[in-house]
Structure 1
């Protein structure tokens, strides 16, 4: 099994656990402002740094209906004549809170583990390793990854905010790789979602691994295992 495939579920577990732990507080903050979680919440690490091109957003929403009318109606995002998406003042407030709340939730999770695990002490080093992967991955990432990288990192960001934000961007490198793989096989989003396990699915996953792997080439073999083990040891 390739390293890219080995580390992906570990990245997903760490990031999704932080996001779900933060969800209730994000929903409460949004509700006070008459809003609901939307694209600004899903793509905050990129949108806070730069406007999002139409092709990047379309790819990021490839497995959904792609309807952005709620964000437009609530005044969270606006779109210009070229189809590029921009945060409004309200959208920026919501996205900044989403980033902060995700980091705070992660810090709570990672400080609650058993004492024999490094927990929070390992987070600065893990954030540094992921940052290097992000920078290297710009040469091979697709539209969504390029829109999300480098991520927005406030000057006062804690190590937990840095790591969760960087992981949120890194997930798009493989997501772009997967979309490129099934498109190269002549499939649509609906077809890949319905595709059963078998040789065709295995070939697409292998091609995804091949396209995703170059981002990690910047790390030495020891650093790759350090990253995998370090993320895997974080409580969730």
Structure 2
């Protein structure tokens, strides 16, 4: 098994755990402003740094309806003549809160670790390693990853904020790789969803690994296991 495939569920568990823990406070914050959670909430690590190009957004939303009607109607975003998406003042306020709430939830989760696990003490080093992977991955990432990297990090970002924000961007390197793999196999969104286990599915996953793996080449072998073990030790 490739390292990229091995670490992906660990990345997803840590990131999704923080996002799930933050959701109640985000729902409350959004409700007070009369808006729904939208693309600014899911993609805060990128959209806080730069406008989102049309091709990146289309890829990032390919498994959904792709509709941005709610975000436009609620004044969260605007779209220019080149189909590039820009946060409004409200959208930026929401995205900044989503980032902060996710980081706070992560810190709370990780502080409640079992005593034998490293927990928060490992977070600055893990953030450093992920940052190097992000920088190296720019040479091989697709549209969504490039829109999300480098991620937005305020000057006073805590180690927890740096780590969860960077993980949010890193997930898009493999997501781009997977879309490229199933498209190269002649499949559509519905086709990849319906594809059963078998030789064709295995070939798509192997190609995804091949396209995702180069991002991690910047890490030495010991650093790869350090990253995998460190993320694996964080509660999620």
TM-score of the superposed pair, with normalisation by structure 2? 1.00
Q: Offset of 1:70 from its aligned partner?
A: 0.2
Deviation at 1:160, TM superposition (A): 0.4
Unaligned runs of 5+ residues in structure 2 are none
Look up the match of 1:154.
154
Which residues of structure 1 form unaligned runs of 5+? none
Q: 1:105-130 CA deviation, whole Å, 9 max, x = no partner?
A: 00000000111111000000000000
1:140 aligns with 2:123: no
For the pair 1:116 / 2:113, whether they are aligned, the reply is: no
* Distance in 2 (alpha carbons) for counterparts of 1:34 and 1:156: 29
Partner residue, 1:211:
211
SS at match of 1:234: coil
SS class of match (1:117)? coil
Task: Indicate the residue corresponding to 1:41 in structure 2.
Answer: 41
| 1:172 aligned onto 2:180 | no
Aligned length: 236
Deviation at 1:194, TM superposition (A): 1.1
**Partner of 1:190: helix, strand, or coil?**
helix
The CA RMSD measured in Å over matched residues stands at 0.4
Give the secondary-structure state (helix, strand or coil) at the position aligned to 2:67. coil
CA distance in 2, matches of 1:47, 1:11: 21
The whole-number CA distance in structure 1 between the counterparts of 2:84 and 2:185 is 28
Residue 94 of structure 1 is matched in structure 2 by 94
Deviation at 1:60, TM superposition (A): 0.1
CA distance in 1, matches of 2:210, 2:123: 28
Question: Which residue number corresponds to residue 61 of structure 1?
Answer: 61
Counterpart position of 1:190: 190
Please report how far the alpha carbon of residue 189 of structure 1 lies from its aligned counterpart in structure 2 after TM superposition.
Answer: 0.9
Match of 1:104 in 2: 104
Q: What is the CA–CA distance in structure 2 between the aligned matches of 1:82 and 1:144, rounded to whole Å?
A: 17
Q: CA deviation at 1:156?
A: 0.8
Deviation at 1:146, TM superposition (A): 0.1
Q: 4+ residue stretches of structure 1 with deviation over 3 A?
A: none
Q: Distance in 2 between matches of 1:24 and 1:191?
A: 34
